[in-house]
């Protein structure tokens, strides 16, 4: 009997069977390697099954489609950025420094995952264009993290309190897109993006001053 082992992957659309099943993890690892090497579009479920040494039907016991496998991989990649955002939001830094740090963290993690790993970037573009559920949590976390930082900043007296909170959150999240969206990240040089991230975060912080 095949054992089950611990796995941080969250169940997403199109996944079947135990989330922590050893074969599921093997499929994800093999798919990640194939997608990086050959690209998402050029890899088939049959290719993945052959690499693992099982039939395509066996793969379908855990994933209903290639997209479902892509979602699992994309979810793991985005999960690293989500964890980094929560780490910033829950740090001991002042709210101002946390907000400033959020810009550079999103940019650095995004470049690391989406820009340097070109084939993974391709999967992420598919996820965005196809509105895969793996991208939903990523975007929701930005709102959640910004909301927490703003509330803490208002409570500490660092930020003004007159503007409706939801309005400020929406505006700040919009300013994060150039430094967190995979398509936008590939359109500028990393050094230029870092300069812009610092400039935008400084401007936002000045607008939040009481």
- Provide CB contacts within 8 A for 97, sequence distance 6+: none
Nearest of 5, 53, 14, 7 to residue 134 by alpha carbon: 14
Each residue's pLDDT expressed in tens, for the chain with a length of 210 residues = 333 333 334 444 566 655 556 778 888 888 888 877 777 888 889 988 888 788 899 888 888 888 888 888 888 888 889 999 999 999 999 999 999 999 999 999 888 876 656 566 677 777 777 777 778 888 899 999 999 999 999 999 999 999 999 999 999 999 999 998 877 777 778 889 999 999 999 999 999 999
CA distance 21 to 175: 40
Q: What pLDDT was estimated at residue 48?
A: 84
Residue 12: in which H helix or E strand, if any? none
3-state helix, strand, coil in the chain (%, to 5): 70, 0, 30
pLDDT of residue 97: 98
Q: How far apart are the first and last CA of the chain?
A: 63
Residue 21's DSSP bridge partners are 4
**Angstrom distance (rounded) from CA 25 to CA 4:** 10
Of residues 17, 18, 32, 130, the one with CA closest to residue 77: 32
| pLDDT reported for residue 25 | 83
Please tell me what DSSP assigns to residue 209.
-
> Looking at residue 10, what is its pLDDT?
41
User: Is 74-208 CATH 3.30.460.80?
Assistant: no
Alpha carbon distance 154, 190 (integer Å): 32
What pLDDT score was predicted for residue 7?
37
pLDDT of residue 184: 78
Report which secondary-structure segment, H or E, holds 42: none
The pLDDT score that the predictor gives to residue 193 is 92
Identify the pLDDT of residue 151: 98
| pTM of the shown model | 0.79
Q: Is the dihedral of CA 136, 139, 142, 144 positive or negative?
A: negative
> Domain boundaries in the chain?
74-208
User: What pLDDT was estimated at residue 91?
Assistant: 97
The H-or-E segment that residue 70 falls in is helix 66-89
């Amino acid at each position: 009997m095949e054992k089950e082992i611990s796995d941080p992957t969250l169940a997403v659309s199109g996944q079947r069977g135990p989330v922590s099943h050893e074969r599921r993890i093997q499929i994800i690892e093999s798919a990640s390697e194939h997608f990086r090497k050959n690209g998402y579009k050029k890899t088939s479920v049959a290719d993945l099954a052959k690499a693992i040494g099982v039939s395509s039907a066996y793969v379908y016991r855990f994933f209903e489609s290639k997209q479902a496998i892509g979602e699992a991989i994309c979810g793991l990649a985005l999960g690293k950025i989500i964890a980094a955002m929560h780490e910033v939001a829950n740090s001991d830094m002042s709210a101002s420094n946390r907000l400033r740090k959020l810009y550079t963290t999103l940019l650095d993690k995004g470049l690391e995952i989406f820009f340097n790993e070109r084939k993974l970037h391709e999967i992420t573009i598919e996820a965005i264009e196809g509105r895969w559920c793996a991208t939903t949590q990523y975007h929701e976390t930005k709102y959640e993290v910004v909301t927490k930082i703003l509330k803490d900043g208002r409570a500490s007296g660092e930020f003004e309190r007159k503007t409706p909170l939801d309005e400020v959150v929406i505006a700040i999240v919009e300013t994060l897109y150039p430094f967190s969206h995979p398509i936008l990240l590939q359109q500028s040089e990393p050094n230029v993006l870092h300069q812009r991230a610092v400039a935008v975060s400084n401007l936002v912080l000045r607008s939040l001053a009481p």
